[in-house]
Structure 1
Amino acid sequence: MQLVSVERTEEYSTGLPTEPQHQNTKLPPTWPEHGWLEFRNVVLTYRDGLPNALDGVSLVVRPGEKIGIVGRTGSGKSTMFLALFRMVELNQGQILLDQLDISTVGLAQLRSRLAIIPQDPFLFSGTVRENLDPCGRHVEQQLLDVLEQCHLSAVVSRMGGLEAEVGERGRFFSAGQRQLLCLARALLTQAKVLCIDEATASVDHKTDKLLQQTIRDKFWDKTVLTIAHRINTIMDCDRVLVMHAGKVVEFDTPAALCQTDNSIFHRLAGNAKKLGKLGLGKPVPGFPL
């Protein structure tokens, strides 16, 4: 049985293809400056024989816009993020960030200019400082400031400060606190584009509210793409993108979609309202009573 580990090491070290390591030497150090995002007829398939995960997606997100993304499981919501970070290469089409085709940008360059808060918060064994700033690029006061902004200052202080251990996969923190730590890490990047992949799916309403308020306050001038788990978290977005079978089926303001009787988003919001998931029974701005 121990020889299985030898076999796996051999496979990982010699049998797996590596990502391209090229760098774009002409890339401006301030790119992207605005956060203008454009998908042009994007087609993506995970492997031959499978249906297109993204099937001719075309859309434009203006700088500073807050976009909510909804759709059933398998509709292509998370695949859009994978395409943006180039975890999977496109079969066809282009993704432009500030008018620059991201396929011409080195992977390390591209991913360092974007920020993401994943559905499952990623923390590794080490200190709070190492998880917030793994590359050591920020001074201590900056780290303390983002902890304060993310409502974690008191928690971290009780644990012993920035040198406190987070435990394996962040086990010394609750699920909500781990998400807030990921938000603090995203704040430090100063990225012009923030992707949120159902970050509030497994947290309580109080933590959800803290996350949403911090995102509104600290990313007001950034482009934010949010995959929604709770409909109320995207009702104040500038526009809502509805995906189905890898295609864009609706893309408009929440108010406009809710006022359209045959809108998919209208039905989703109506079902959520009936189930009492919209603000604990309180009216939601833009939702027809």
Structure 2
Amino acid sequence: VIPPETEGSLAYMGVNVIVRQRVKEEHLTRFREPQRKMKRCPKESWPSEGRVEFEDYSTSYKPGVLPEVLKGVTFSVEGCEKVGVVGRTGAGKSSLVLALLRVLKATQGCIRIDGVDVNLVPLRRLRSAVTIIPQDPVLVRGSLRDNLDPTRSHTDEELWRALHQAHLGNVVSSHPQQLLLETGDGGSNLSVGQRQLVCLARALIRMPQVLILDEATSQMDGDTDRLIQATLRESFVRCTVLAIAHRIHTVLDYDKILVMGDGSVLEYGSVTQLLSNPASMFSSMAQSAGVVPSLDDKKNSLSRSKF
């Protein structure tokens, strides 16, 4: 049996590898997936809505050998909805991301984006349709511009606009090389938080239909976190957002909350619905985090108000 913390580490590494691979594919190589007979080839406009559906989905890191990390997962996200994904380490949160990007293969069930089974979509097409901002991103060797716009399809003005929206514009403009700032050795010359902001700027440039935030602001200080949360809310209104949340307060104004536990969906509903239920796990998590008053706090407040 894989310990929960190991499951989390495997998922974490997988997400970061995919992000780095996508930039490399766009900038340096033409990734070629073995051709398979397509039962349903998506239209050029796919995905146009960003609806995401998991239907009775199960998977394992090594089917038949290792236990399942996702077990009969079923939930749906409407286009442009913002969903916060919460749960303990090893709950299966990052495994959802790996499953969506087909790093993990289904042992049962399926995942659909805009009604199309992701297993029927060419891998490169699928991964270009979904943008990820990971917890600890690694940049490709080259320049900042290479990482922001690997296909060189955007103007400098567009790149600068995205950098300022991501609250990285002043840092880059103060550097002598500016957009040509070298990002050698995985971007180690930038802090983890700055690398996350580079990924945010890249997402702002691409403006995907589906955006995944994998603990994307967990390495940032409180002030930067608040600025980034504001940018996410203002700039990605027309995107479907799945946010794996380390800090509960960052998803309190999302449309829905998905609570994962031991690879299964424990709760799924609106924030109001879950917080208004005293028996809700999300309500308990929010109280423990101190972002909503606990039942005892409410009782004490009520008692004080009587005097």
TM above 0.5, one fold?
yes
Structure 1 position 81, deviation (Å): 0.4
Partner residue of 1:97? Answer: 113
Which AA in structure 2 matches 1:122?
A: V
Which AA in structure 1 matches 2:74?
A: S
Call closer, same or farther: CA 1:261–1:177 in 2, change over 3 Å.
Answer: same
1:152 and 2:165 aligned: no
2:261 to 244, 269, 274: 244
Q: Deviations over 1:133-186 (max 9, x none)?
A: 122222222111111211111111111321122342223322222111110111
2:225 to 180, 191, 208: 208
Structure 1 position 237, deviation (Å): 0.6
- 1:199-278 to 2 correspondences below 5 Å: 199-273=216-290, 278=291
Moved more, 187-196 or 221-230: 187-196
Structure 1 position 20, deviation (Å): 4.1
Moved more, 30-39 or 47-56: 47-56
2:48 to 8, 14, 33: 33
- 1:60-209 to 2 correspondences below 5 Å: 60-159=76-175, 160-209=177-226
Cα distance in 1 for partners of 2:33, 2:152 equals 25
- Whether the 8 Å contact between 1:21 and 1:107 is mirrored in structure 2 is no
Call closer, same or farther: CA 1:20–1:164 in 2, change over 3 Å.
Answer: closer
1:42 and 2:53 aligned: no
Structure 1 position 79, deviation (Å): 0.5
Cα distance in 2 for partners of 1:247, 1:26 equals 30
Gaps of 5+ in 1: 1-17
Q: Secondary structure at the match of 1:29?
A: coil
Moved more, 141-150 or 60-69: 141-150
Which AA in structure 2 matches 1:192?
A: Q
Which AA in structure 1 matches 2:218?
A: A
Which AA in structure 2 matches 1:42?
A: Y
1:22 to 35, 58, 78: 35
Structure 1 position 260, deviation (Å): 1.0
TM-score for both structures, normalised by structure 1: 0.85
Gaps of 5+ in 2: 1-30, 299-307
Which AA in structure 1 matches 2:266?
A: V
- Whether the 8 Å contact between 1:69 and 1:77 is mirrored in structure 2 is yes
- Whether the 8 Å contact between 1:194 and 1:225 is mirrored in structure 2 is yes
Question: After TM superposition, what 4+ stretches of structure 1 lie above 6 angstroms from structure 2?
Answer: none
- Whether the 8 Å contact between 2:33 and 2:124 is mirrored in structure 1 is no
* Aligned pairs, number: 261
Structure 1 position 29, deviation (Å): 1.5
Cα distance in 2 for partners of 1:95, 1:102 equals 6
Call closer, same or farther: CA 1:91–1:266 in 2, change over 3 Å.
Answer: same
Which AA in structure 1 matches 2:137?
A: P
Q: Secondary structure at the match of 1:75?
A: coil
- Whether the 8 Å contact between 1:241 and 1:248 is mirrored in structure 2 is yes
TM-score for both structures, normalised by structure 2: 0.80
Which AA in structure 2 matches 1:241?
A: L
